[in-house]
Amino acid sequence: MKNYYIGIMSGTSMDGIDAVLAEISDDGQTSVLCHKDVPFEESLKNTYLDLQSPSQNELHKEALAANHLAQHYHLVCAAILQEVKLQPSDISAIGAHGQTIRHQPQAHDGIGYTKQSLNPALLAELTGIDVIADFRSRDIAAGGQGAPLVPAFHAAQFGSKEDLAILNIGGIANLSLIPANSPENIIGFDCGPGNVLMDHWIKQSLGQSFDDDGQWAAKGQVIEKLLDSMLSDDYFKKAPPKSTGRDLFNPNWLKHHLTTSACSNQKPEDIQATLLALTTQSIAHALKQHAPKTMSLLICGGGIKNSHLIAQIKNACTWIPQENIQSTAARGVDPQTVEAGAFAWLAWAHKRKQPANLPAVTGAKGLRVLGAHYPA
| pLDDT, tens digit (0-9, with 9 covering 90-100), for 213-255 | 999 999 999 999 999 999 999 999 999 999 999 999 999 999 9
Judged against a pLDDT cut of 80, whether residue 93 lies above it is answered with yes
Sign of CA dihedral 148, 151, 152, 153: positive
Judged against a pLDDT cut of 70, whether residue 183 lies above it is answered with no
Mean per-residue pLDDT, 202-208:
97
* pLDDT, position 159: 80
Q: What is the mean pLDDT of the chain?
A: 95
pLDDT tens, position by position, 292-342? 989 999 999 999 999 999 999 999 999 999 999 999 999 999 999 999 999
pLDDT tens, position by position, 66-81? 999 999 999 999 999 9
* pLDDT, position 1: 57
All structural domains of the chain, each given as residue ranges with its CATH number in brackets, are: 4-146+337-374 (3.30.420.40), 151-320 (3.30.420.40)
* pLDDT, position 181: 78
pLDDT tens, position by position, 148-182? 999 999 988 988 778 899 999 999 999 999 988 77
* pLDDT, position 233: 98
